Amino acid sequence: MTDEELDTFAGQLDQILSSVASVGEVAAADVPPTSHAVPLTNVFREDAPREGLSQQQALSGAPAAEQGRFRVPRILGEEQ
Amino acid sequence: MTATLLDYDEVLERFDPVLGLEVHVELSTATKMFCGCSTAFGAEPNTQVCPVCLGLPGSLPVVNGAGVESAIRIGLALNCEIADWCRFARKNYFYPDQPKNFQTSQYDEPICFDGYLDVELSEGEIVRIGIERAHMEEDTGKMLHVGGATGRIHGADHSLLDYNRSGVPLIEIVTKPIEGAGARAPEVARAYVTALRDLVRSLGVSDVRMDQGSMRCDANVSLRPLGTETFGTRTETKNVNSLRSVQRAVRFEMCRQAAVLTDGGEIVQETRHFHETDGSTTAGRRKETSEDYRYFPEPDLVPIAPSHAWVERLRATLPEKPAEHRKRIQADWKLSDEELRDLVSAGAVELVEATVAAGADSEAARGWWVSYLLQQANTREIELAELPITPEHVARVIALVAGGELTTALARQVVDGVLAGEGEPDAVVEARGLKVVSDDSALTAAVDEALAAQPDVAEKIRGGKVAAAGAIVGAVMKATSGQADAKRVRELILERCGG
């Protein structure tokens, strides 16, 4: 990064931080965090099967496929 | 690498085990938890998938109401509180078994919490196991590791993913720490998983087949020096897939951890893999803490707020509890305490009931399941329910015996045939030619032949020594390959000797 860029970004960073900090003025301890903007509960679906995608459609966006399955590179690390 | 183990008695002289059991139950709803894809088993790979369970951009999940009802019913059966408001959460992790890069689960707001399950040990003693929580989540896809020698992830060249199972509803049931079990810790673990399986099966919300993966158990085990309070570091043995394995895995971990601790070592918090062949566990991954999963409330699903009325309506649908149920069958079938215990410990209650429902007499049904079939299961080291024979088959065999078409010895051969995959009982009788020879003319011919072959014995019988007929009966049975009714043979012998 050039010194010039650093000067530009330092100013921007400062702006960003102060904008975010203004949220803190509103979010007092007695205001619970919002997870949902709409006050809805209990939206359920019937337990009735619906046609999904065909295997061909499902795999159409896959970078690689084999034996009707998505093919992924070697997984490093342990089994989950 | 073989782990060093401390002798079990020595483990108990020095340490106090603490257990925690996490059981995943796959619900038998018709569709997945968050989309309408079918959950039917055995379909071609990636044919029961849609944009939601493939995590495609722009797709939105909707909760399966039947899944929530099943979760609440399981919670109620486990004497849990039902949350009056709860949310789903995203459990973020990067692994190809979940195409969304997160699993939709519940975090700090489980739908069911704070319950218990009373568990009966083999001696008849009841132990109360505390239930921490039961929450809703979804299953992952199935991986196939290609290019390695053993199909395991190590040495594989690449992996293949089938997402048919991805999104199938799961209920995870977590116990509170189980303390004070001491020497019986492995037995308590097994008894708990057995009782939980029976309970969930009685609710009809899952087929709870451990051998098929619709019920899976992770066993957390830690040790602390006797007389101390603080929990030791625990390990989590994953995917222990039979009741017997639950018991073995807990015992193995107790002996392994005790050896490490006694040697001055430290237990590493990690997952461990269980090996059916020798009952051992080996190290898996270092255990993540919940922070690593960056849980946050699922923004795409609205909260669930079960009304009091809804919960009570579900409570009214709960069946008789397994313990009460056992009391009732004990009375109905007139069983002694010991007979009931044998029936329960064999895992035969439902099987006998189903056999009775298929028309068999309860005593005959019990006889087959807790003696001959139990022996077969033990020989194969599997659970009774895993034997490839159904209660309907057993009922049919019992009916054939009752109708005089099979002797007990022949009936065993028929059962052997069914177990060997030769088909339904009637087909086995046909294919193996096992029908009792009830045709008198054929039997008479065999009797005459046997009498002619042993003229001295025949003479004795004619002279009034009826007891001598036994030798002829034996010869006839041999000649008919055991397919004759011995009683009828005897009658015929006496008839032919003018008795």
pLDDT 10s digits, A6-58: 888 988 998 999 888 887 777 777 777 788 888 899 999 999 999 999 999 99
> Which pLDDT score, from 0 to 100, does residue B287 have?
67
Closest to B34 measured CA to CA, from B95, B134, B103, B93 = B103
> Which pLDDT score, from 0 to 100, does residue B17 have?
97
> Which pLDDT score, from 0 to 100, does residue B499 have?
52
Q: Which residues lie below 8 Å from residue B23, measured CB to CB, with a gap of 6+? A: B172, B173, B193, B196, B215, B216, B217, B218
Distance from the A64 Cα atom to the nearest Cα atom in chain B, whole angstroms: 10
A70 neighbourhood in chain B, CB within 8 Å: 46, 96, 99, 160-161, 163
- Answer yes or no: do B303 and A41 touch at CB < 8 A: yes
CA B471: distance to chain centroid?
Answer: 47
The answer to whether A74 and B156 are in contact (CB under 8 A) is: yes
Cα separation, B485 vs B175, in Å, equals 56
> Which pLDDT score, from 0 to 100, does residue B184 have?
96
Distance from the B359 Cα atom to the nearest Cα atom in chain A, whole angstroms: 34
B36 neighbourhood in chain A, CB within 8 Å: 45, 48-50, 52
> Could you say which of 1.10.10, 2.60.40, 1.10.1760, 3.40.50 is the CATH number of the domain covering B440-496?
1.10.10
Cα separation, B333 vs B314, in Å, equals 30
Closest partner CB to B46 (pick from A38, A55, A73): A55
**Interface mutation vs chain A, best among B160, B236, B237, B285, most A CBs within 10 Å:** B160
Residue of B nearest to A77 (CA): B285
> Which pLDDT score, from 0 to 100, does residue B458 have?
85
Residue B336 corresponds to which amino acid?
A: S
> Which pLDDT score, from 0 to 100, does residue A63 have?
93
Cα separation, B236 vs B47, in Å, equals 34
Closest partner CB to B161 (pick from A35, A50, A69): A69
The answer to whether B115 and B81 are in contact (CB under 8 A) is: yes
Cα separation, B457 vs B469, in Å, equals 8
Q: Which residue has the tokens 């000797």?
A: B497
Cα separation, B179 vs B226, in Å, equals 12
Count chain A–chain B contacts defined by CB atoms under 8 A: 139
Q: Could you tell me the two tokens for B424?
A: 């339904």
Below-50 pLDDT ranges, chain B: none
DSSP code at position B108: S
* pLDDT-based confidence at residue A65 (cuts at 50, 70, 90): very high
Residue B313 corresponds to which amino acid?
A: R
Q: Which residues of A touch B (CB under 8 A)?
A: 35-36, 38, 40-50, 52-55, 58-59, 61, 66-75, 77-80
- Answer yes or no: do A72 and B144 touch at CB < 8 A: no
- Answer yes or no: do B162 and A48 touch at CB < 8 A: no
Q: Could you tell me the two tokens for B52?
A: 């939601």
Where does CATH 1.10.10 sit in chain B? 440-496
- What torsion do the CA atoms of B95, B100, B103, B106 make, to the nearest 10 degrees? 150
Q: Which residue has the tokens 């970078």?
A: A63
pTM, rounded to two decimals: 0.77
For chain B, how many helices (H) and strands (E)?
Answer: 17, 15
Closest partner CB to B87 (pick from A35, A45, A71): A35
The pair phi, psi for residue B214, each rounded to 5°, is: -85, -5
Query: CA distances (Å), B140 to each of A9, B74, B238, in order?
Result: 43, 21, 15
Distance from the A17 Cα atom to the nearest Cα atom in chain B, whole angstroms: 23
B56 neighbourhood in chain A, CB within 8 Å: 61
- Answer yes or no: do B285 and A40 touch at CB < 8 A: no
B66 neighbourhood in chain A, CB within 8 Å: 47
Cα separation, B488 vs B499, in Å, equals 14
Residue B115: how many CB atoms within 10 A of its CB?
A: 23
Residue of A nearest to B300 (CA): A36
- Is A54 in a helix, a strand, or coil? coil
Distance from the B257 Cα atom to the nearest Cα atom in chain A, whole angstroms: 21
- Answer yes or no: do A69 and B29 touch at CB < 8 A: no
pLDDT tens-digit profile of B394-410? 999 999 988 888 888 88
Distance from the A20 Cα atom to the nearest Cα atom in chain B, whole angstroms: 20
- Answer yes or no: do A41 and B305 touch at CB < 8 A: yes
Using H for helix, E for strand and C for coil, what is the string for B195-232? HHHHHHHHHCCCCCCHHHCCEEEEEEEEEEECCCCCCC
As a whole number of Å, the CA-based R_g of chain A is 25
Closest partner CB to B31 (pick from A47, A58, A77): A47
